[in-house]
Amino acid sequence: MKIISVFSINKLGKFASLLVVLGVLLLLVSSLYNYFQDALQVRANRSNAMQVSKQIVSDQIVPVMAPDFFTEYRLERDKIRSERSDLLREIIQNASSQDAKQQAQESILKMTLEKQREMEMENLIKAKGFADALVFIRDNSVSAVVKTSELTREEVIQVAEVISRISGVKPGDITISAKP
């Protein structure tokens, strides 16, 4: 196969040069034709289109609801834990004694385990059919708030069993209350 360059066109003669120019022109015309065909197809057929406009009435605007007790409490609890965790990490970095570092590390570990157990208990209580729940682990006791208008004796026993099983706290040291 022989490649023809611009310099070798002079050798081919006028007829070959005319064919090359004609080919380039055909390519250009074909490209322009395709461009304009695409442009015509893009235009929308507006013969049967309707303009839709609807005024927004202020009654239709739904106000943003404030977070409920359970959401607010979780946010506050996470904020406090985060601040406490930051403080303990600072103590670990700047502590002069190994004992202070060890205590801070143990506190972080304890806080992390408490958070994990609280979340596990809350999820298991919700799995029992309650809309939401909060669990607070203290040294020797656990408190729970369940999102419901009232709790039956059976529901209290169910919640207490979940808490006792996960936390290891005796049922007598568990407080359960309802909050709608």
What pLDDT score does 70 carry?
A: 95
Distance CA 133, CA 180 (A): 11
- 124 and 105 in contact (C-beta within 8 Å)? no
14-37 pLDDT, tens per residue?
655 555 555 655 555 565 566 556
140-172 pLDDT, tens per residue?
999 999 999 999 999 999 999 999 999 999 999
CA angle 36, 40, 42 (to 5 degrees): 115
Distance CA 113, CA 71 (A): 21
What pLDDT score does 139 carry?
A: 85
125-137 pLDDT, tens per residue?
999 999 999 999 9
Quick one: 69-179 is in which CATH superfamily?
A: Stage III sporulation protein AH-like (1.10.287.4300)
Q: Element (H or E) spanning 136, and its range?
A: strand 133-137
